[in-house]
A and B are shown apart, each in its own frame.
Chain A
Amino acid sequence: MIRITVDGEPVQGREGQTIAGVLVGAGRTAWRTAQTGGRGVFCGIGVCHDCLVSVNGVEGVRACRREAVDGDRVEREVRP
């Protein structure tokens, strides 16, 4: 089991899962704010960039491609 935080809230996942896998597994569907509302995973393989998050202060990380590491701080990105 691993624990990450998403906008400060703790979320549990399984070791080896991608960040998108952890979030979807925890029942979350939207974790980015786009012009038209919330977005989450769409293509799941790194093509569409809908699932971007900040991870430990680094922006623009595709949640579907990055393996989650225990203690990761994941934060929402907002597009004005």
Chain B
Amino acid sequence: MRHVAILGGGPAGLAAAQGALAAGARVSLIDEGDRLGGQFWRHHERLTDPRLQHAWHRFERLRGALAGGGAQVLVGASVWSAEASVDGVRLRAVVGDADGDGRSAIDVDADAVVVATGAHDLALPVPGWTLPGVTTAGAAQALAKRDGVAVGRRTVVSGSGPFLLPVAHSLALVGSHVVGVHETSRMPALAGGWLPRPWELAGKAGEFVGYVGALARHRIPYRTGSAVVRVLGRDRVEGVVVARLDADWRPMPGTEREVACDAVALGHGFTPRLEAALALGCAIDGDHRGRFVAVDDAQRTSVAGVFAAGEVTGIGGADAALAEGAVAGFVAAGGALDDPRLRGPVAARRRTHAFATRLERAHGIRPGWTSWLDDDTIVCRCEAVTRRAVAERADVPLRAMRLATRAGLGPCQGRTCGRAVEAIVAESGGAAASVGFDRRPVLAPVRIGELAALADTDPRT
């Protein structure tokens, strides 16, 4: 029997597991979180307010399919190594309390793997963004959904993309006063992305309008062409400066005004979590607007036996992830792409890909954002590297720039600042964006002691 490993337990991974089971494979699903669901269905049985969940019935159905099909489910499992060879795929993980010192090692050997590692928030730097009280929009959402707490009493939400709306709604439901939602893109860009060919949107526009209505009921203003361009405070957030922006996201002089708040949630889209796909050797496509795992119609990557689905292949939302996952899992298990059981997912995938293009047109990051930075604004949060330090070394190769400035060499390994550093390097006359910032030798943090213990016990070494 074919063995399919699935990396990630969000919508794409769960759908892949269901697809692989349907095609008759043995399935192992691995996720670093303590529960299935990924970020989209992040939850806790006793703490999550059900009003904060979306399409929860789909999650329950998928979870049921996994249990019914006898899938091996490994949660709390951090995969730190992924290798593909002619014999198949080997994933190496530690399982136990997050970042604990007593985790146990587990290896999963499979015939094929579906990489469904998802994405994390992309928050662009703003002067003052290292003050306590500034979080990503995703953090505000995660703390509201999983832990039932609000990041602040008075919260300002700023960034771009439809995700800001459910975040503001969740904040209101867990008791924060949301002072405003500032969508950086201007109305013409939003209309250009959202309005043409409405029949393609399959309910997405309605969802958007529904959220705008929910914000209105909570009396939360939604402003377009507007952004937080500075965070104010001494030891923590005390307020923000918001400004109106031009079409390139440059603040318009004279439009600044101060708003009092104790929390700021920033989100400018999402960054795919590419490290496992890169470790497996998968080809990456894209440019400075985003780099994703390249896949064909059957969700195959450039490496035999390695498939990818969901946000690692393009930011298209949960519906896209579910459709892609279903295809990836089914084909990884040896099923055929033209099998009648894949008709639904293949059709859904066509619709959702059009949606991803619209999202970029309406909400994509515009190059003028760097003009809201000061020279001494910290860009790399881990190593406190300023915009000036990066710009001054923009003309040397990326690796040399990183060694000289330490940008991207801290504990987060450039996951948080990579996109911003690339933008500053590019506008300062340096090299164009490349995949260099996405490569990480160890996929997840593991303690040196844990690795040493593995070396002592592994019969293969």
Contacts and interface: CB of A to CB of B under 8 A. Distances in A.
Interface in B106-139: 120-121, 123, 130-136, 138-139
B44 interface: yes
Given A16-B44, A24-B147, A49-B382, A30 B132 contact: yes
Interface of B: 32, 34, 39, 44-47, 97-101, 120-121, 123, 130-136, 138-143, 146-151, 235-237, 378, 381-382, 384, 410-412, 415-416, 445, 447
Given A15-B46, A29-B132, A37-B235, A46 B143 contact: no
Contact of B148 (A14, A35, A43, A66): A14
Contact of B99 (A15, A29, A37, A61): A61
A61 B146 CA distance: 18
A51 B130 CA distance: 12
Nearest to A28: B132
B139 A52 contact: no
Instruction: Give the size category of A's interface with B.
Output: 35 or more
B32 A46 contact: yes
A65 B136 CA distance: 15
A49 B410 contact: yes
A25 interface: yes
**At the interface, is chain A mostly helix, strand, loop or mixed?**
loop
B357 to A, nearest CB: 26
A21 B147 contact: yes
A62 interface: yes
Interface in A14-46: 14-18, 20-22, 24-25, 29-30, 34-46
B99 A40 contact: no
A45 B416 contact: no
Contact of A61 (B45, B98, B130, B150): B98
